[in-house]
């Protein structure tokens, strides 16, 4: 197999506290960004109109955007759909304040009928999405993400151990929060395809984590279970899978970056999540999920040492107490 890093000996766990500190800082900043800037909700969540049109000749998307902008629909999204020869256009318009439910889609159609290229234009479909439906979709999207995280925890718990599943879920929460923070910072629009991108990110990230966890378990079993420090064992395992991680993530990232650059406005929000998420997910597998296993082991050792120390100290105090009692009686 082709290897970028052959026989690498990087000490990933040696700087785990620094990288965990960096990650905590980024998560706090991401939460602050989302809290201050908020999420730019799309039509599916905020409410609005969707109109699908067919033109007699090839439509000019920029001209259509200009017509809608002059009509007051400044936040309209216009994209071509279907085969090029079908000349179909898809328009999404967020719900304007004060607009009546029945007027939104009809107003979009009237505005386009008054503009250039209106001759030969036919309406294929039009629909209105109310705020109540949008609120329900937001709730379902949140539950979908939380359900996927819970499913990952149970799966890794069954396949490995509970603390391994917990480490993986913490890494996934880390990936989701930081990616969402950058998503909010750049003002991209949250839509149902973007929710699907976040779910894809969760699945991709946990797959990378499982590969490394599997190698850690193999090396632990080969070395006799408890032989050697866990940090050294993780370092060896990560170094052994490093080429695979970099190659897989890099090739996937290049494909997503191509979609982000060349895919146009319709795919930019979706691909942004994957472009950022793949980088953050590959990082968190090494510097979040793996260090949590070391921290868990250290915590268990300190807890066991504290219990054994308390158990030894108790019998040693009893004779002294007995002497004081006898002295008092005397």
Least confident of 7-11, 70-74, 129-133, 230-234: 129-133
Topology adopted by domain 13-40+134-305: Multidrug efflux transporter AcrB transmembrane fold (1.20.1640)
With cut-offs at 50, 70 and 90, classify the pLDDT of residue 2: low
Spatial CB neighbours of 105, under 8 Å, sequence gap ≥ 6: 49, 50, 51, 126, 127, 128
Looking at the structure, give the CATH architecture of the domain made up of residues 48-129.
2-Layer Sandwich (3.30)
Q: Residues spanned by CATH 3.30.70.3400 within the chain?
A: 48-129
The number of C-alpha atoms within 13 Å of 226 and in the hemisphere containing its C-beta is 2
In this prediction, residue 36 carries a pLDDT of: 94
- Using the predicted structure, report yes or no on whether residue 319 has a pLDDT greater than 50: no
Numbers of helices and strands, H then E, in the chain: 10, 6
pLDDT at 48 over 90: no
**In contact, 196 and 271? CB cutoff 8 Å:** no
Full-prediction pTM beyond 0.95? no
| Average pLDDT of span 24-39 | 94
State residue 33's pLDDT score. Answer: 96
Give the per-residue pLDDT at 97.
Answer: 57
Q: What gap in Å lies between CA 149 and CA 173, rounded to an integer?
A: 8
Provide CATH 1.20.1640.10 ranges for the chain: 13-40+134-305
pLDDT tens digits, one per residue of 183-215: 999 989 888 889 889 988 888 888 888 888 888
Q: What is the pLDDT of residues 116-171, one digit of tens each?
A: 777 778 888 887 777 666 678 888 888 888 888 888 888 888 888 888 888 888 99
Q: Give the pLDDT confidence of 89-118 residue by residue, as tens digits.
A: 888 888 765 555 557 788 888 888 887 777
Residues near 186 by beta carbon (within 8 Å), at least 6 away in sequence = 272
């Amino acid at each position: 197999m082709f290897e970028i890093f052959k026989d690498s000996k990087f000490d990933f766990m040696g700087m785990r506290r620094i990288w965990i500190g960096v990650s905590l800082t980024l998560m706090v900043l991401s939460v602050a960004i989302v809290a201050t800037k908020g999420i730019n909700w799309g039509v599916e969540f905020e409410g609005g109109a969707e109109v699908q049109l067919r033109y007699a000749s090839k439509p000019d998307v920029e001209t259509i955007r200009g017509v809608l902008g002059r009509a007051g629909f400044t936040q309209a999204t216009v994209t071509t759909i279907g085969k090029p020869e079908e000349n179909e256009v898809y328009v999404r318009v967020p719900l304007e304040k004060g607009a009546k439910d029945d007027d939104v889609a009809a107003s979009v159609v009237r505005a386009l009928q008054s503009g250039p290229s209106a001759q030969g234009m036919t309406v294929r479909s039009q629909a209105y999405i109310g705020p109540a439906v949008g609120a329900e979709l937001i709730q379902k999207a949140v539950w979908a993400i939380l359900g996927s995280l819970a499913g990952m925890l149970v799966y890794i718990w069954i396949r490995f151990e509970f603390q391994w599943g917990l480490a993986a879920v913490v890494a996934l929460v880390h990936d989701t929060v930081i990616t969402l923070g950058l998503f909010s910072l750049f003002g991209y629009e949250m839509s149902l395809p973007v929710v699907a991108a976040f779910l894809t990110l969760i699945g991709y990230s946990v797959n990378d984590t499982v590969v490394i966890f599997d190698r850690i378990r193999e090396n632990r079993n080969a070395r006799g279970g408890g032989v050697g420090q866990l940090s050294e064992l993780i370092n060896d395992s990560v170094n052994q899978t490093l080429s695979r991680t970099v190659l897989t993530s890099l090739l996937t990232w290049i494909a997503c970056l191509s979609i982000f650059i060349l895919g146009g406005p319709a795919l930019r929000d979706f691909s942004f999540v994957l472009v950022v998420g793949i980088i953050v997910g590959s990082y968190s597998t090494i510097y979040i999920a793996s260090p949590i296993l070391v921290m868990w082991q250290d915590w268990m050792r300190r807890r066991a040492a504290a219990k054994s120390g308390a158990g030894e100290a108790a019998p040693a105090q009893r004779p002294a107490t007995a002497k004081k009692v006898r002295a008092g009686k005397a």
